[in-house]
Amino acid sequence: MTLHIHGYSRSGNCLKIKWTAQKLGLPFEWTEVDVMTGGSRTPAFLAMNPAGQVPTVVLEDGRVLAQSNAVILHLADGSNLIPKDPYERAKMFEWLFWEQYSHEPYIAVARFHRLMLGKGPDEVEARIMERGEAALERLELQLSETPFLVGDHLSLADVALVAYTRVADEGGFDLARYPAIQAWVTRVEAALRITD
Amino acid sequence: MTLHIHGYSRSGNCLKIKWTAQKLGLPFEWTEVDVMTGGSRTPAFLAMNPAGQVPTVVLEDGRVLAQSNAVILHLADGSNLIPKDPYERAKMFEWLFWEQYSHEPYIAVARFHRLMLGKGPDEVEARIMERGEAALERLELQLSETPFLVGDHLSLADVALVAYTRVADEGGFDLARYPAIQAWVTRVEAALRITD
């Protein structure tokens, strides 16, 4: 069996997996799941993943795996997307957990409210926007010092963080205020050959 | 230098690191940081970790690491707390990311509102309680099938998830409704020699 990604193309969490597979030259199939119309809540989908979330991946041996960052760690095991140095690897993990706890719930959620739910700028909770700006400030600080999040090389930290950062504008964040982030987005998009 | 944990004893995220170090027989120092009175926002603390969050760990070589799950992964590297089998390891990661995204923001946050901020049961957002119950239901489902979260052995998934689950009652969740979780908490507490 070929690696099979059940994903939604507007979800950065799903795109992380596609980009990682492409970068590593892993063949995959993609089935589009429209989460906005209940596509991840059908009996067939829930039988595969009771959590009813995308991305859900069926590995080559038929076993199922969820959680975007867990999937990219699994696919990239042993590759140069995961630093060999133990401390650099730990810093990559620090960014991956920070992404899910302190970045995605604000940057991606603001975009969800604006783009998917059609809310206006004043209808997104101020707390979400404030914490989103704090997350961008932290990225800007790091990327003013290093070309990638962990030192001099592309790692899964960049793959995970670029997913929603590159479209943060769609959530009402002004990336023009963050020049180091903008340069890094361009760098990571080139490294991952992201063209859309 | 000895491993140095800057943590708050009522924070499950901090305790994860203490328990992991103890389980692995790693000597460590603990400095109590009272986050409720600004202890993680002092100039000295911010110089160590600009994010101003506990836990913050200073490794034996003086380098700093944050994010509880990143720290326990680093400390336990090569130990039997991380499954050797690639798929089991991936499932462990799935639980670790799920913990930070779908469990901690509800189970720990409800406890924070009740215990630290002194709110009454009706003052905690209904959404937080609903998602907390959903997280407990998912744990119950898994633990009805396997003794630990990943198969037959204790792993970091159990360390990370037990931290706030064992005190979920303090956030207004009734663990008596989840017998498999209760049995697992007892099992993991024994394995980690948690006595308080």
Side chain identity at residue B12, one-letter code: G
pLDDT tens per residue, range B16-46 = 999 999 999 999 999 999 999 999 999 999 9
CATH of domain B3-75: 3.40.30.10
ipTM field: 0.95
By percentage, how much of chain B surpasses pLDDT 90? 96
Among B67, B91, B94, beta carbon nearest to A98: B67
Contacts of A68 in chain B (CB under 8 A): 97
Cβ neighbors of B7 (< 8 A, separation 6 or more) are: B14, B15, B17, B18, B30, B31, B32, B33, B54, B55
By percentage, how much of chain B surpasses pLDDT 70? 100
| DSSP of B41-81 | SSHHHHHH-TT--S-EEE-TTS-EEESHHHHHHHHTTTSTT
CATH of domain A86-192: 1.20.1050.10
HSE-CB of B56 using CA atoms within 13 angstroms: 22
pLDDT tens per residue, range A32-63 = 999 999 999 999 999 999 889 999 999 999 99
B77 contacts A93? CB cut-off 8 A: no
From B135, which residue of chain A is nearest by alpha-carbon distance?
Answer: A51
pLDDT band of residue B51 (cuts 50, 70, 90) is confident
Contacts of B50 in chain A (CB under 8 A): 138, 141
pLDDT at B140 over 80: yes
pLDDT at A10 over 80: yes
Triad A154, A159, A165: Cα angle to 5°: 120
pLDDT at B196 over 80: no
pLDDT at A196 over 80: no
Delimit the CATH 3.40.30.10 region(s) of chain A: 3-75
Side chain identity at residue A30, one-letter code: W
HSE-CB of B168 using CA atoms within 13 angstroms: 28
N-to-C CA span, chain A: 28
pLDDT tens per residue, range A69-122 = 999 999 999 999 999 999 999 999 999 999 999 999 999 999 999 999 999 999
The span from the CA of B162 to the CA of A143, in Å, is 35
pLDDT at B70 over 90: yes
Delimit the CATH 1.20.1050.10 region(s) of chain B: 86-192
B104 contacts A65? CB cut-off 8 A: no
Ordered alpha helix ranges (H), B76-150: 86-98, 109-111, 126-143
- Distance between A71 CA and the closest CA of chain B, angstroms: 7
